């Protein structure tokens, strides 16, 4: 499994700062890639396991006697009870632990170490993996995503199994209770039906509720169908959709905290860096020339160069406003889709400059295009602050000359 560029850079930083490390960097990256593949398959296996458990549990909830009668709310409790209990326990655990001091659970570290020994993985690499994927707030949201994904699998399995059961069996839905009156039952049913009604699911009517009292020997087909659809919609809405929402939220928070953590491991400057600022066209656009001795781009020194050659600027995969320095540019295009990028590679033109959004981290597809565009491009401008060093280093690794890489200021220069 390929290691993302920013994750690999953070891993390289961890390896370089670990005095107890005795493995080559390439060996760590290869071992780390195996750990990523292992955890990916473990997560998929866990979801499938919960899916199977859910598909087995649902038919057990539908067990009926010779009279083929099912208690409506007992059925909902069996189908959704464990889901809500586990969700409550997860929320409670979130309140009890601080995102700033949380760490990967001990059982999880032990499990990874045992699996690592089973597959011949380095304990040091596993330690780096836990630091990059399961430390602090990253670990909280990562484990939360895994937990909710597994429960989503459980509920989807149960829902499909329940649907299959109701398609192949005819049952009679009843309500029987010692403490609740018919009015209480009707009120409870209407309360649960509020959200499904928003989505167009018809709630059981008063006649349906009356027909479902224990003692009625027959039940109309429409009443049975209404209760079946209502129960399935409750499992879908209060079960699958709720868990799916938590999966999405955990994934978004996980990505946010993960990227923040990875950036914290990447050094932002080095004392031996050398740079100088140049204005490379008639519009006096401020750029920072990257040093050949280092891939980092620290604070620039100032120098002014004038040139009258026509320049065509290409904003690569650009999603924010045009940089102020380029607002007066006569020739400005975007390379936001594969068609535009292919056209760029198939045409030849002097004075072409690609402007890269450094607020977005480099990926394999972007870097592949930069390598292909290098012979056809005069300069590569890196604009932004988030991933300036990562982009510069990646461009140098793709064989782009240091003199071709420059930093474009986001602000007008006076």
Dig out the tokens for 169 from the structure. Answer: 């069996």
CB 353 within 8 A of CB 314: yes
CB 55 within 8 A of CB 101: no
pLDDT of 195 reads 93
Alpha carbon distance 124, 23 (integer Å): 9
pLDDT of 239 reads 94
pLDDT of 254 reads 93
CA 87 to chain centre: 20
**Count of CA atoms in the C-beta half-sphere (13 A) of 70:** 25
Fold (topology level) of 276-408: Rossmann fold (3.40.50)
DSSP per residue over 32-80, as a string? HHHHHHHHHHHHHHHHHHHHHHHHHHHHHHT---TT-EEEHHHHHHHHH
pLDDT of 273 reads 38
Q: How far is CA 321 from CA 31, 131, 261, 339, in A?
A: 41, 36, 27, 22
Dig out the tokens for 41 from the structure. Answer: 């398959």
pTM of whole model > 0.75?
no
| All residues at 6 or more sequence positions from 143 whose CB lies less than 8 Å from its CB, including other chains | 104, 105, 108, 134
Domain ranges for the chain: 5-265, 276-408
Mean pLDDT by 10 residues, the chain (414 residues): 78 76 72 86 94 88 68 83 93 72 58 72 81 85 93 94 89 80 85 91 85 72 90 94 96 92 68 41 48 41 42 86 81 85 84 88 84 86 85 85 82 49
The residue count of the chain comes to 414
CB 9 within 8 A of CB 390: yes
CB 235 within 8 A of CB 158: yes
Positive or negative, the CA dihedral 280, 281, 282, 288 is negative
Q: What is the pLDDT of residues 279-291, one digit of tens each?
A: 444 444 555 454 4
- Strand pairing partners for 381? 355, 406
Closest CA to 237 of 71, 80, 85: 80
Dig out the tokens for 50 from the structure. Answer: 């919960």
Closest CA to 128 of 16, 260, 269, 46: 16
3-class DSSP assignment, residue 276: strand
Alpha carbon distance 256, 250 (integer Å): 10
Q: What is the pLDDT of residues 220-259, one digit of tens each?
A: 888 889 999 999 999 999 999 999 999 999 999 999 998 8
Closest CA to 3 of 37, 44, 43: 37
* Maximum CA extent, the chain: 95
């Amino acid at each position: 499994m390929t290691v993302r560029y920013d994750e690999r850079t953070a891993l390289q930083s961890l390896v370089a700062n670990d005095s107890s490390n005795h493995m080559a960097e390439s060996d760590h990256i290869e071992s780390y890639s195996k750990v990523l593949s292992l955890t990916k398959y473990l997560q998929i296996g866990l979801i499938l396991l919960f899916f199977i458990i859910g598909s087995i549990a649902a038919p057990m909830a539908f067990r009926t006697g010779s009279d083929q009668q099912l208690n409506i709310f007992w059925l909902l409790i069996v189908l959704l009870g464990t889901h809500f209990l586990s969700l409550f326990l997860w929320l409670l655990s979130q309140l009890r632990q601080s995102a700033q001091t949380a760490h990967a659970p001990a059982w999880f570290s032990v499990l990874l170490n045992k699996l690592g020994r089973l597959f011949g993985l380095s304990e040091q690499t596993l330690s780096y993996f836990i630091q990059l994927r399961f430390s602090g707030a990253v670990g909280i949201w990562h484990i939360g995503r895994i937990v909710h994904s597994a429960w989503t699998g459980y509920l989807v399995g149960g829902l499909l199994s329940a649907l299959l059961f109701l398609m192949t069996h005819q049952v009679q839905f009843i309500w029987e209770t010692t403490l609740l009156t018919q009015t209480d039952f009707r009120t409870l049913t209407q309360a649960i039906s509020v959200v499904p009604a928003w989505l167009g699911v018809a709630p059981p009517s008063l006649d349906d509720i009356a027909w479902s009292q224990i003692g009625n020997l027959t039940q109309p087909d429409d009443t049975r169908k209404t209760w079946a659809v209502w129960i399935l919609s409750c499992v879908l809405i209060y079960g699958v959709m709720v868990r799916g929402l938590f999966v999405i939220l955990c994934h978004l928070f996980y990505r946010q905290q993960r990227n923040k953590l990875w950036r914290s491991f990447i050094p932002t400057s080095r004392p031996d860096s050398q740079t100088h600022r140049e204005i490379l066209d008639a519009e006096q656009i401020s750029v920072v020339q990257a040093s050949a001795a280092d891939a980092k781009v620290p604070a620039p020194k100032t120098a002014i160069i004038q040139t009258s050659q026509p320049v065509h600027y290409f904003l690569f995969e650009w999603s924010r406003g045009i940089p102020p320095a380029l607002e007066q540019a006569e020739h400005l295009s975007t390379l936001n889709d594969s068609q535009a990028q292919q056209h760029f590679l198939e045409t030849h033109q002097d004075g072409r400059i690609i402007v890269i959004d450094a607020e977005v981290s480099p990926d394999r597809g972007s870097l592949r295009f930069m390598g292909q565009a290098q012979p056809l491009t005069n300069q590569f401008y890196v604009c932004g602050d988030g991933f300036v060093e990562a982009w510069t280093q990646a461009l140098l690794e793709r064989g782009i000359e240091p003199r071709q890489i420059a930093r474009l200021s986001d602000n007008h220069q006076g």
